[in-house]
Amino acid sequence: MEELKKKLKEQIIEALNLQDTKPEDIDDNAPLFGEGLGLDSIDSLELMVLLERQYHIKVEDPREGRKILQSVQSMAAFIQSKQPA
pLDDT tens for residues 44-80? 999 999 999 999 999 988 889 999 999 999 999 999 9
pTM: 0.92
Q: Has residue 39 got a pLDDT over 90?
A: yes
How would residue 85 be classed by pLDDT, with cut points 50, 70 and 90?
low
In angstroms, rounded to a whole number, what is the distance separating the alpha carbons of residues 80 and 77? 5
